[in-house]
Amino acid sequence: MLAVEKHYAVIGDPIQHSLSPGMHNAGYRSLGVDAEYSRFQVEARRLAGAVEGLRALGFSGWNVTLPHKESIIPLLDTLTPQAKRAGAVNTVKIHERQLIGHNTDGDGFVRSVEEDLKGFKGKKAVLLGAGGASKGIALALAEQGMQLHILNRTPEKAMELVQVIQHEGGRATSGTFAPGDWLEDADLLVQTTSVGLYNEPFPFSLAGISKQALVVDIIFNPIETIFLQEAKKLGCRTQNGIGMLLYQGALAWEFWLGGKAPVAEMRQALKNQLLQRTVYKG
Ligand SMILES: NC(=O)c1ccc[n+]([C@@H]2O[C@H](COP(=O)([O-])OP(=O)(O)OC[C@H]3O[C@@H](n4cnc5c(N)ncnc54)[C@H](OP(=O)(O)O)[C@@H]3O)[C@@H](O)[C@H]2O)c1
């Protein structure tokens, strides 16, 4: 049925704003890979049918986004250690008729900060938020040997995440959503909540943060949240969420196709799409 050799996709609901097709297709074009990446809106109640359909249509693999990252697990044959660790799947590959569930979110984040951070072991990371994204990032950073401090609006959720990390052999504590000693100590501060998506300020000031800290907000639209603007004014190095999006995609590419993903071209495609959106929103 398919004119190109390999087909990939992202499934989720909603999905119309996904930047993944533009990023992956730009990568295929740059290396001359005979493949195409599409996006499909899949309602929760249709997930099993959609997975069967993708398999029947000869797709080689697909990405999975909200709300299917956990509910797809029973539909798969095996999970990689990364997917087991996160309890969530963002990448599926069909290999010898088997559906393999993988997760590249946490390791994608690690890759996005490793150059700026220059080593993880024994360093301190503070995570603001304890939702799905925070869990993936926290487990991957703990595996790299970082010591974590997790703050969340609902403290019980931060405590639960700390227990999961400790169960995996990592070091973590939880705290209240407020300034504290951690501001002077953090080597890495990651904003993982949805606060800032609508240009709203973060609920507390970062005054007192170490200038050595790398500050990341995993939101990528707006390109620079008020939280990141404040961190920059205080002299910190900053990164938005494009790096995490880029490297989770690059690791999915490498899981599917092998070799090295063309990250420079994929990054440029992400930036172009975001720029167009900003202009469009005017
Ligand atoms: N760059 C990337 O590749 C990437 C990947 C995944 C997600 N993200 C972004 O990450 C963010 C979170 O996604 P998620 O999947 O982790 O969502 P989630 O599982 O729903 O978790 C949301 C988190 O935000 C907190 N929160 C929400 N509203 C808040 C408020 N008004 N004040 C304080 N805390 C609040 C929640 O705290 P409670 O527990 O108290 O509710 C929770 O910790 C989103 O902005 C998403 O776009 C980016």
Mean pLDDT by 10 residues, the chain (282 residues): 83 96 98 97 98 97 97 98 94 96 97 95 96 94 97 96 96 90 94 95 91 96 95 97 97 97 98 80 39
The pLDDT value given to residue 2: 52
CA distances from 19 to 91, 129, 133 (A): 15, 24, 17
- Measured in Å, residue 161 CA sits from the centre of ligand 1 at 14
The pLDDT value given to residue 12: 98
Q: Would residue 69 show up in a list of annotated catalytic residues for this protein?
A: yes
The pLDDT value given to residue 90: 97
The pLDDT value given to residue 282: 35
pTM of this structure:
0.94
Question: Which domains are assigned to the chain?
Answer: 6-103+243-281 (3.40.50.10860), 106-240 (3.40.50.720)
Q: Whose CA is nearest to atom 21 of ligand 1?
A: 131
Strand order in the sheet with 214-217: 171-175, 147-151, 124-128, 188-191, 214-217, 237-239
- Measured in Å, residue 134 CA sits from the centre of ligand 1 at 8
Find all residues with CB under 8 Å of 261, minimum gap 6, and list them.
Answer: 27, 249, 250, 251, 253, 254
* Calpha distance 78→84 (Å, rounded): 9
Active-site hit among 6, 69, 157, 271: 69
The pLDDT value given to residue 180: 87
